[in-house]
Structure 1
Amino acid sequence: MAMSGFEGFEKRLELHFSGDDPVAGAGNGLGLRQLDFESIEEVLHAVQCTVVSAVGNQFFDSYVLSESSLFVYPFKIIIKTCGTTQLLKSIHPLVNFGSQIGLTLSACKYTRGSFIFPGSQPYPHTSFQDEVIYLEENIPANLRYQKASVMPSKIPAHSWHVFSACDAGHVMKDLDFVSDPDEDFFTIEVCMTELDRVLARKFFRRSNDGKNGDSAGREMTEITGIGDVNPNAVICDFAFDPCGYSMNGIDNDRYSTIHVTPEDGFSYASFEFVGSVYDDQNEVAEVLKKVVQVFRPGMMLVSTTVSGSGGRHHHEVWSRIAKAVEPVGMKCRSCTLDEFPAAGTVVFQTFTPRRK
């Protein structure tokens, strides 16, 4: 049997819900945030992970999981998990819980990179084909506008997998550019491998350090420079024993998240955050520079999803990403673009250090 380590590459699921009367039908605008902790635990039990830390504000709730993160907004849920979790098994309970509070699933997006240890993944994550079939069989019939695609790169071992589905309402909204809370926003997912070994050692805990996961996490946030990536964010962090790190950042209605698997041979780190095409792009560039400097990866994959009418600005967003990381020694090796119903424009880029 082939040796394998911990699978760092996350599976990411984003679900959007709607209702006939969102305010009245969702408990004065709380929507999915009405779900009690027992319901959250039931969803995570199906996925095979648990909550290790949590924080929230007036906009959304944030959970650090034993395998990555969960974000709950009134009408949107984002859940990403690593390892051998069965993320797609969260769909059925989430749809059921949504229906109990008068909400209907209206859009779904699933993304992931190429697994480091694909042979270790359980069903339905045994292949992208199996994942797509599972999605098609478990999402409601009203999500009939669907697309699945494997976005390639010039590095054969790395592809970006995307499945998107939505109902007719989302299709009309995209065509008409109707105003929406997510309009003109982009999500950047960064996956990094071959981390600098000296920097990766900072994500190992000292033996018998006398700290719990929360206090050890705060220490890692400080000594690695992660706390400086977005100084405005409220950070909820956690350090695993003997190694590994996760954090969620909350900045008003926007989130960011970092997850690290630092072991030699299969080191991995991810960074995800949300922005607007109207943000100061110099600030976005600075964030990406800081992240690269924290990890100094030998390989970096960046997926940028620009939603709504903001998709018209996709060239500006992804070209600025390339320019942002060039000063810290990374060079763009390939760039692929595709369009997905409701999800918007997805741009997949690969980077390696200039010396390679």
Structure 2
Amino acid sequence: MAVSGFEGFEKRLELHFSGDDPVFNMGLRQLSFDSLEQILHEVQCSVVSAVGNHYFDAYVLSESSLFVYPTKIIIKTCGTTQLLKSIPPLLHHALNLGLTISSCRYTRGNFIFPLSQPFPHTSFHEEVVYLEDSLPNHLCYRKASVMPSNVTAHVWHVFSACDQTPLVHFPPSDLYTVEICMTELDRTQARKFFRRPGDGKTGDAAGKEMTEIAGIHKINPNALICDFAFDPCGYSMNGIDGDRYSTIHVTPEDGYSYASFECVGSIYDDEDDEDGADGDDFIRMLRRAVQVFRPGKVSVSVTTATTASHRLWARVAGAMEPLGLKCRSCMADEFPAAGSVLFQTFTARRKKTGECGGGGR
């Protein structure tokens, strides 16, 4: 096998469940820590830090993040983890809580080191076969697709399944999920995610220092941040703000540097409020996240059930272009259990003589 570095691109699994008043009964949040660790053992990762509020629990993992809501669970893992192996034990534990799976969504980018991935992640075809075999038959509306781009290193893979027709299962919603993948990070920015040898700090203390130095705490000042720094390098963070989460993961090594930012937004986040004030908090958050890393290449995936999805194209571009990032490709597709998936790629513009501009290299 060829020598490879650490795989930054994450695999992401989101499962939704239904049952008798699961919100009142806490639903999936009743899972014991031992049960969660058993599930994560199948994936080959573990919990390193955690935080929670009235709405959900957020865990920083040795490889990325886990979010547990009463009726929804999101697991995002990087490296050579076997994420899809979490499905059988998750379904087992959920059934014991009186919950039945109602939808599934799996997404990932293009692996930097695909030959290093173990089963069932050796190819997207293998992943789809595993998903098809692992999910119960009542999730009968299924679709798998690879969304290409003009930036060959950034390709988006999507699988979704649900138990009802999309029209019935997903009424219009103002919320959407944004997944940003960044490569070719600015070296000066990437160095902020290396620990000093023998610093004597815990992962939590070093993580808080990186959060401050890199300016991550400014992305969403309202969020409660749970962060962790790995040794000798690497960083993970979960932010919780009411019922919304955000998460960042960084692999800073030169040659295969990578960072991701994921959050939940609303189509109303960028509208003016009743007093006419500018309400572009969400766009500012996206810009701040990308400015932390100043990447050379960026892909942005937006998943939404809203009928106003076409409005998101301009919003994403409006957030990226002032940073010196030019849109290179964009496409959309429809998926059961997901709605519309919008996928755009950006690359840093090269500065011309006498030109000033933001964020690109």
* TM interval, short-chain normalised: over 0.9
What amino acid is the match of 2:286?
L
* Alpha-carbon separation, structure 1, partners of 2:167 and 2:44: 33
Alpha-carbon contact 1:334-1:351 (below 8 Å) kept: yes
Match of 1:254 among 238, 244, 247: 244
For residues 160-171 of structure 1, the aligned pairs below 5 Å read 160-168=156-164, 171=167
The match for 1:37 is 33
Residue 322 (structure 1) aligned with residue 317 (structure 2): yes
Structure 2: 5+ residue runs without aligned partners?
A: 272-279, 352-361
Counterparts of 1:170 and 1:352, CA distance in 2: 34
Match of 2:81 among 74, 78, 85: 85
Secondary structure at the aligned position of 1:275 is classed as strand
Counterparts of residues 12-27 of structure 1 (less than 5 Å): 12-19=12-19, 21=20, 23=21, 26=22
Partner residue of 1:297 out of 292, 295, 298:
295
Moved over 6 A (4+): none
1:223 matches 2:213: yes
Tell me what 1:3 maps to: 3
Shift of 1:81: 0.1
TM-score between both structures, scaled by the size of structure 2: 0.93
Q: TM-score, normalization: structure 1? A: 0.94
**Residue 255 (structure 2) pairs with residue 265 (structure 1):** yes
Higher helix share: 1
Q: CA deviation at 1:29?
A: 3.2
Partner of 2:275: none
- Give the paired residue count: 343
Q: Secondary structure at the match of 2:337?
A: coil
**Residue 64 of structure 1 corresponds to which residue in structure 2?**
60
Instruction: Please give the per-residue CA displacement for 1:123-177, whole angstroms capped at 9, x wherever unaligned.
Output: 0000000000000000111101000000010123321000000002755233xx3
In 2, distance between residues paired with 1:152 and 1:318? 17
Does structure 2 conserve the Cα–Cα contact (< 8 Å) formed by 1:331 and 1:352?
A: yes
Q: Which residue of 1 aligns with 2:356?
A: none
Decide whether the 8 Å contact of 1:285 with 1:325 is kept in 2: no
> What is aligned with 1:349?
344
Q: Distance in 1 between matches of 2:295 and 2:204?
A: 26
Q: Which amino acid aligns with 2:338?
A: A
User: Can you list the C-alpha shifts for 1:284-308, whole angstroms capped at 9, x where unaligned?
Assistant: 111111112110001101000012x
Q: 1:145 — aligned with what?
A: 141
Q: Decide which of 229, 237, 241 is 2:231's aligned counterpart.
A: 241
Q: Is the 8 A contact 2:166 2:339 kept in 1?
A: no
Is 1:335 the counterpart of 2:318? The answer is no
**Matched residues, percent identical?**
68
- Residue 324 of structure 1: CA displacement? 1.1
Q: How far apart are the structure 1 equivalents of 2:308 and 2:167?
A: 19
Q: Counterpart amino acid of 2:89?
A: P
Q: Please say which of residues 237-246 and 284-293 is displaced more in the overlay.
A: 284-293
Superposed CA RMSD in Å reads 1.3
Farther-moved stretch of structure 1 (161-170 vs 100-109) = 161-170
Indicate whether 1:313 and 2:311 are aligned: no
Shift of 1:278: 1.7
Counterpart of 1:53 (choices 49, 52, 65) is 49
Q: Which amino acid aligns with 2:163?
A: D
For residues 107 and 89 of structure 2, the distance between their equivalents in structure 1, rounded to whole angstroms, comes to 20
2:105–2:161 CA contact under 8 A, matched in 1: yes
